[in-house]
């Protein structure tokens, strides 16, 4: 059981991240801040999410108390050497799902752990294989689930995941937005906790 000597703060408005973190840390605070999620065009895959997770943590660096541990995260979908972020609208979501249909893509999540004295940055990747999706299935999903707050325009835990994901290689929870097992291990090391 994880016993952290800090007051944990999750800097995320994602309900999925909040629910996943609650499974390993039942009591934590939530802090929100709008930040510029731009990144240099030269970055690829894991570099992007680590850059953004670090930027999210940097927004709080002067506000942390000595007894607080901040967790930030960012998730992207990476396909054909490009990022699929959150869709702007239905048309954009349909475009993204058509790109994913019948293909493999990689989901990257970067996480930053920050206290007043230490910082730890890491990332996790998961390969996701989609079956060929029909146009009616894509439209049904977008119209009914409105995945506009999700990287790549889909939630693996939703209807589209049940009918479209053939298999994954890596962490399922990473695809949801927080690699819980890796985070647990990193927290144990960061806090020098013996399991």
Question: For residue 40, how many other CB atoms are within 10 A of its CB?
Answer: 8
Sequence-separated (6 or more) residues with CB below 8 Å from residue 76: 45, 48, 49, 83, 84, 85, 107, 108, 151, 152
Q: Look at residue 195 in the predicted model and tell me its pLDDT.
A: 40
Give which of 155, 35, 40 is closest to 93, Cα–Cα.
155
Q: What is the mean pLDDT of the chain?
A: 94
Query: Choosing from 34, 58, 66, 74, which is the catalytic residue?
Result: 74
The whole-number average pLDDT for the span 85-102 is 96
- The whole-number average pLDDT for the span 150-175 is 96
CA distance 131 to 18: 29
Question: What pTM does this model have?
Answer: 0.93
pLDDT of 194 reads 44
Residues of the chain above pLDDT 70, percent: 98
- Give the pLDDT score at 119: 96
| 74 a catalytic residue | yes
- Average pLDDT of the segment spanning 57-65: 94
């Amino acid at each position: 059981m994880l016993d952290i000597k800090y007051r944990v703060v999750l800097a995320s408005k994602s309900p999925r991240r909040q629910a996943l973190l609650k499974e390993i840390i039942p009591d934590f605070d939530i802090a929100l801040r709008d930040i510029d999620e731009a990144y240099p065009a030269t970055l690829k895959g894991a570099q992007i999410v680590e850059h953004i997770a670090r930027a999210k943590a940097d927004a709080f660096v002067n506000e942390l108390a000595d007894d607080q541990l901040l967790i930030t995260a960012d998730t992207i979908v990476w396909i054909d050497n490009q990022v699929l972020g959150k869709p702007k609208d239905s048309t954009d979501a349909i475009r993204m799902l058509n790109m994913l249909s019948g293909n493999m893509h990689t989901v990257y999540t970067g996480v930053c752990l920050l206290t007043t004295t230490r910082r730890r940055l890491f990332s996790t990747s998961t390969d996701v294989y989609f079956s060929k999706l029909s146009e009616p299935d894509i439209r049904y999903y977008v119209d009914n689930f409105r995945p506009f707050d999700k990287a790549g325009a889909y939630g693996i835990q939703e209807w589209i995941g049940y009918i479209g994901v053939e298999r994954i290689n890596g962490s399922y929870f990473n695809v949801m937005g927080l690699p819980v097992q890796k985070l647990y291990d990193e927290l144990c090391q960061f806090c020098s906790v013996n399991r």
